[in-house]
Amino acid sequence: MLIMSKVLDILAAQLNPVVGDINGNLALAREAYAEAKERDADLLVLSELFILGYPAEDLVLKPSAVELSMAAVQTLAGETAGGPAILIGCPWDVDGKVHNSSVLLKDGIVAGRCDKRELPNYGVFDEKRIFAPGEGAPFVFTLKGVKVGVAICEDIWFERVPLSLKGAGAQMLIVPNGSPWRRTVHAERHTTFSAWRKTGVPYLFVNQVGGQDELVFDGSSYAVDDDGTEHQLLGDFETGTALVSFDGATGSFQSGPKATLTEGWEAEYRAAVLALGDYVNKNRFPGVVLGMSGGIDSALTAAIAVDALGAERVWCVMMPSKYTSSDSLEDAKACAEMLGCKYDIINIRPGVNALDEMLADQFAGTQPNTTEENIQSRLRGLTLMALSNKFGHMVVTTGNKSEMAVGYATLYGDMCGGYNALKDFYKTEVFELAKWRNTTIPRGALGPGGEVIPVRIITKPPSAELREDQRDDDSLPPYDVLDDILRGLVDLEEDIDDILARGHDVATVRRIEHLLYIAEYKRRQAPPGVKVGGKNFGRDRRYPITNRFRDD
């Protein structure tokens, strides 16, 4: 007897929805649906909370946002008569309980719904305060003779939901995701999911792509057969669709050519580029303006901005004082010319002189200190904000994670801005990224190839240039030492003894711990920046400002 294979053709849509843009996201879904029909797919799969965007945070607590999202999905359902089915993410209100749901649209109606059960409540997530967990029987539907189970994002990180779906007869799982990128994410996904792969349930992982405030989503959608064979359907940090066929008889997927993922510094650089570009574009700024000091942080920030937005939308401004070296003037101009962006010089000396005159009576009899240094930094912030207000460009601040950690930054000065592309990169990582960018043009970058950061910027000793012959290592340990201590204190939450065991000086470690804690109030006022590591300042690490704890 001839046995017909049950083959399900699925279009996986790895798209970039905008949080709160329900009509715009509905338009994206319709475009993908038109492609699904054209390619004779049986099912279109869209990512987690697609219609409202992810993460929508407390927007989910606004009844009208949920109602309009549900209405948009109901409208889309009516367009599925005679065409492929759709699985789309949407907040769904049931008797006053709002769920994080994936909704099945089929034959012109809402044909079913899966509610997320494992609500993450750690790190950057706090879904338990805005969603009710799913209950009841696991969601399994049949399409073209294939029994399909649905597990939403966090549901796949634990055995409970996949095993219950298998027990309900699911031959494969579809996993809509809003899974943010960090440098360890691929290893985490693959090692964690392997804990229940032995159950032999094939799955299709469909993730969103794009930047949303401090998070960036990589996409990287893929499928896994029942024997563990992987099919990398789509690349990272780019939108796209992939048609994949699932054979219910063999438990395997068939797809086109395997996509490739970026790794190492390129992945981290592309994450920063995508995050900054989406922050600027989704908030509809015409471009960005930044202070170009001739140092490595501003040079790398300018390169990321040009790669994200194009040189014509990036404005670099050198704001020299009497302490600015000729090398810095030359290097800042050379970097801007290499990148091809607009470059201006605005001398802040007249402003510094004016403040000296204004404060002369109050400061009489005192010695110059960080007060006078901070006046320079704040005048630069004021200058950039004036340009921003006049022309609409968003100010990009340029501080790195090492500086943010120990408070080596000036409130309302060099911390002034709307976004910080380097916020989660330690200083040693900034150097490595700059050297890497000089050798490679990243995939999708809008900037030029070749050297874009003068070598002298990378090799000269870092300095804020706020006083005569100033260097960062006058007040901080060398950055390789500082960053190792900070990784222990911040990313790993290590005890002081663990850090000292690596050979660090006890007085240095305790001083850095103290600086870390007392700078919390500054970080609370810092602009957002993309998360790339295990624990970023902002969404991940939330310490009290008033805090007398020290690790004794």
Task: List residues forming the annotated binding site for deamido-NAD(+).
Answer: 374, 403, 522
Please name which of 235, 254, 258 lies closest in space to residue 243, comparing C-alpha atoms: 254
Instruction: For CA atoms 68, 72, 75, 80, give the dihedral sign.
Output: negative
Do β-strands 314-318 and 97-106 pair in parallel, antiparallel, or remain unpaired?
A: unpaired
> Which residue among 48, 118, 238, 266 is the active-site one?
48
Q: Which helix (H) or strand (E) holds 100?
A: strand 97-106
Which of 90, 153, 316, 416 is an active site residue?
Answer: 153
- Residue 24 and residue 16: Cα distance in Å, rounded? 11
Q: Which residues does the annotation place in the binding site for ATP?
A: 291-298, 398
Q: How many CB atoms lie within 10 A of CB 221?
A: 29
Number of other residues whose CB lies within 10 A of the CB of residue 362: 8
Indicate which residue of 106, 116, 423, 531 is catalytic.
116
Q: Annotated binding residues, as ranges? A: 122, 179, 291-298, 374, 398, 403, 522
Half-sphere exposure of 451 (CA within 13 A, CB side): 9
Q: Is 116 a catalytic residue?
A: yes
CB 74 within 8 A of CB 67: no
For residue 412, give every residue at least 6 positions away whose Cβ sits within 8 Å of its Cβ, in sequence order, or none. Answer: 378, 381
% helix / strand / coil in the chain, to the nearest 5? 40, 20, 40
Q: What is the DSSP string of 252-278?
A: EEE-SSPP----HHHHHHHHHHHHHHH
Question: DSSP label at 468?
Answer: T
Sort 508 into a burial class: Cβ within 10 Å, 0-12 / 13-18 / 19+.
Answer: middle
Pairwise CA distance, residues 327 & 293, whole Å: 10
- Please tell me the distance from the alpha carbon of residue 86 to that of residue 103, in angstroms, as a whole number: 8
Binding residues for L-glutamine: 122, 179
How many CB atoms are closer than 10 A to CB 100?
A: 31
Positions marked active-site: 48, 116, 153
